[in-house]
Amino acid sequence: MSVPSPHLFANVLARVHAACQALAAEGVLPAGLDLARVVVEPTREASHGDMATNAAMVLAKEAKSKPKDIAEAIAAKLRDDDLIASVDVAGPGFINLTLKTAAWADALRAVLRDCERYGHSAVGAAEKVNVEYVSANPTGPMHVGHCRGAVFGDALASLLVTAGYDVNREYYINDAGAQVDVLARSAFLRYREALGQDIGAIPEGLYPGDYLVPIGQALAAEFGERLLNQSEAEWLPAVRTKAIAGMMEMIRSDLAALNITHEVFFSERSLISGETDLVAATIDFLRAKGDVYLGRLPPPKGKPVDDYEDREQTLFRATAYGDDVDRPLLKSDGGYTYFASDIAYHKTKFDRGFRNMVDVWGSDHGGYIKRVQAAIKAVTDGQGVLDVKIVQLVKLLRNGEPVKMSKRSGDFVTLREVVDEVGSDAVRFMMLFRKNDAVLDFDLAKVIEQSKDNPVFYVQYGHARGHSIFRNAREMLTDLPLESGARIAYLRDAAVERLDDPAELGLMRQLALYPRMIESAALAHEPHRIAFYLYDLASDFHALWTRGRDMPHLRFIITNDAVLTKARLALVQSVVSVLASGLAVLGVTAPDEMR
RNA sequence: GCACCCGUAGCUCAGCUGGAUAGAGCGUUGCCCUCCGAAGGCAAAGGUCAUAGGUUCGACUCCUAUCGGGUGCGCCA
């Protein structure tokens, strides 16, 4: 696999670094300066050139000279650079750089050269990252509330892969708590039903959903009437195992509808059912460090706890690691708290080689972050790092009206219903077209609209429009290949230096931003930035396309100039490639034509 | 009471881990289709970035306090 060449911004940053180091060698700047805070970024205003660096301002204090003086010194070095057309010092010490137009042509060639690898990065340095997401309780089908976290986690994982990390996608199966016993009892009822018994109404406290009917039938087929004479203690484990397996199968199939897969499904029960009790081992580990003690907790504030009992309990010293209070590890019945299992679980992640962990949780778990991060610190001696991404609620609407009830399940809308109605692409893109920590309105009617108001359509249409241009261009360039790999190869030697219209150069600038966007979005764990970037790119592309209406000389296909046409097709191809690449990161398809 | 998240244009939201005169879509207003690329395009208006302090060359971004909205607060997962 070829390593993509450093992108334009990284390239220019390296030149700025080199200039600083040269000045250090000459004694103009002190030796050993920390260049970490030096950045090269696109300018917001065209009058400031193409790129700007803050080098002089950042280094001024340490170098003990005026920013302007340093800026002039760096600028003088950069003026000799073969990539740079002009250098200006402005404002408090910005160094504004204008690149030679050849640099943009080179950047465009890089897109065609790297093909689908364009934008891929090595910042991740193949470091292992564990991304845990979904982890819905195995007690029923997935509902809409789950799908934002599912899509977010999946896109984040793809983004990290694209940025060069070694990513493991993981699902934690909560198969050890009381809720799976409830599931087992609910399934047992359906088992009796399958054997012809009249079960009447589903009792309060059990899961009423029809989705358990097939589980009951499967149990009847496997066990016959054997379980009927057994006590609950006897039949429950087998029924539970069967029911959980059935629920997980259903969940996997729901996820498959969104093209989401996990490499690892980690069972909570496996922590305690193996040869060694890993939860006990983890508690012992913490106890040996002095982080476990017997003590009392003040009663909880907020809503009163009716069965509150002040008692001495086994506590983890979470406050020593940044949490607000110490947290219990054992319940009054002697069983492990969910938190205790969770510590052991995250310890296994670390023990499996993941120093970097990302968990994607729903907004109602926000209060749980500190204690798990505290636990990870304790259990990994500060080596492991957990970033928790909270995804906010989705408000499901239809034409602006809230959608509450479900046709199928009665009390919640299933993920499957939503995907069936609007398609995976619309769900995925819209879930990512917002910061994860902001609540999201999802309107079933609007997301399938084929208009500019619908970002999903707008971006996909950009890709399709590119292909439409290729199809039309074949009337003139009859040997233009339709297959994308061959077409890219065909366009690779196009005379892209002929692209000099400001609108074209603007699009080239936008394309050059993509690799930098991938890196920063990956480092920030923010896949939504890619969605917004693609929207901007599509917008620029559509704008250029429509300019051809008033200005025929700007059309992509110029019938009497094959060389220019080919150059413009190279630009179109680059846009198409980047749109396809970005959509792939988001898990959204890039269609060749809109139906 | 405490912790965490949010507060940016009339509405829905971006703002690239501290950069220059805060951006986009919708909506509003004004132009642009006898024909060639209008499932539209161009342009304008619209802001005390919740408020008040602080940190520094520089703050929507970091810190403190206050106001408003949300979430959570032994032995649920």
The candidate with the shortest Cα–Cα distance to A521, out of A532, A512, A510, A511, is A532
Looking at residue A356, its pLDDT comes to 96
Say if CB A244 and CB A175 are below 8 A apart: yes
Residue A11 has pLDDT above 70, yes or no: yes
Q: Collect all residues with Cβ–Cβ distance below 8 Å to A203 and sequence separation of at least 6.
A: none
Task: Specify the pLDDT at position A409.
Answer: 55
Residue written as token pair 């994607």:
A360
Residue A142 in this model has a pLDDT that exceeds 60: yes
Closest residue (CA to C1') to nucleotide B12 in the complex: A441
Cα separation, A316 vs A508, in Å, equals 55
Query: In which order are the strands placed within the sheet that holds A440-443?
Result: A401-402, A394-398, A440-443
A229 strand B contact, CB < 7 Å: no
Rounded alpha-carbon distances, angstroms, from residue A133 to A24, A171, A388: 47, 6, 10
**Residue A481 CB neighbour total at 10 angstroms:** 15
> Whole-angstrom distance between the N-terminal and C-terminal Cα of chain A?
35
Q: Please choose, from the candidates A394, A395, A392, the residue with its C-alpha nearest in 3D space to the C-alpha of residue A362.
A: A392
Residues above pLDDT 70, as percent of chain A? 98
Q: Which of residues 468-507 of A touch strand B (CB under 7 A)?
A: 469, 472
CA of A502 to C1' of B32 (A): 23
Q: Are A450 and A415 in contact (CB under 8 A)?
A: no
Looking at residues A116-140, what average pLDDT do you find?
A: 94
Say whether A577 sits in a helix, a strand or coil.
Answer: helix
pLDDT at A44 over 90: no
Nucleic strand B contacts from chain A, 67-86, CB < 7 Å: 67
Give per-residue pLDDT as tens, A293-349.
999 998 888 777 778 888 899 999 999 999 999 999 999 999 999 999 999 999 999
Give the number of other CB atoms < 10 A from CB of residue A497: 14
The string of DSSP codes covering A392-434 is PPEEEEETTEE----SSSSSS-BHHHHHHHH-HHHHHHHHHSS
d(Cα A52, Cα A88) in Å, to the nearest integer? Answer: 9
For the cut 70, the answer to whether the pLDDT of residue A2 exceeds it is: no
> What are the residues facing A394 on neighbouring strands?
A440
- Residue A382, Ramachandran bin (φ over 0: left; ψ between -120 and 50: alpha; else beta): left
Average pLDDT across chain A, whole number: 92
pLDDT at A425 over 90: yes
Per mean pLDDT, which range of A35-49, A187-201, A428-442, A563-577 is the poorest?
A35-49
pLDDT surpasses 50 at A412: yes
Would you call A441 helix, strand, or coil by DSSP?
A: strand
pLDDT band per the 50, 70, 90 thresholds, residue A408: low
Run of H or E including A446? none
pLDDT tens column, A427-483? 999 999 999 988 898 989 888 888 888 899 999 999 999 999 999 999 899 999 999
Output the CA–CA distances (angstroms, integers) from residue A267 to A18, A389, A588, in the order listed.
51, 21, 30
Q: What is the mean pLDDT of residues A553-558?
A: 88
Q: Is the pLDDT of residue A77 over 70?
A: yes
CA of A197 to C1' of B7 (A): 57
Give the gyration radius of chain A's Cα atoms: 29
Encode burial over A64-101: b for 16+ CB neighbours within 10 A, e otherwise: ebebbebbebbbebbeebeebeebbbeeebbbbbbbee
What residue has its CA nearest to the C1' of B42? A547
Instruction: Name the residues in A346-365 having a C-beta closer than 7 Å to nucleic acid strand B.
Output: 363-365
Would you say the C-beta of A437 is within 7 Å of strand B? yes
| Residue A45 pLDDT level (bands cut at 50, 70, 90) | confident
Distance of A70 CA from B5 C1′ (whole Å):
41
Looking at residue A265, its pLDDT comes to 98
Q: How far is the CA of A492 from the C1' of B37 (A)?
A: 26
Q: Which residues are CB-neighbours of A49 under 8 A, at least 6 positions away?
A: A43, A86, A88, A96, A97, A98
Residue A407 has pLDDT above 60, yes or no: no
Q: Binning pLDDT at 50, 70 and 90, where does residue A405 land?
A: low
Q: Which nucleotides of B are covered by protein (CB under 7 A)?
A: 1-6, 12-17, 19-21, 23-26, 37-42, 57-58, 70-77
Nucleotide nearest to A89 in CA–C1' terms:
B20
- The widest CA-to-CA distance across chain A, in whole angstroms, is 92
Q: Which of residues 362-401 of A touch strand B (CB under 7 A)?
A: 363-370, 390, 392
Over residues A367-376, the pLDDT tens digits come to 999 999 999 9
Q: Given this model, what pLDDT does residue A1 score?
A: 43
Residue with the larger pLDDT of the pair A378 and A410: A378
Task: Work out the angle at residue A36's Cα, subtended by the Cα atoms of residues A32 and A40, and round it to the nearest 5 degrees.
Answer: 120
CB A463 within 8 A of CB A591: yes
Whether CB of A52 is under 7 Å from strand B: the answer is yes
Is pLDDT of A542 > 80? yes
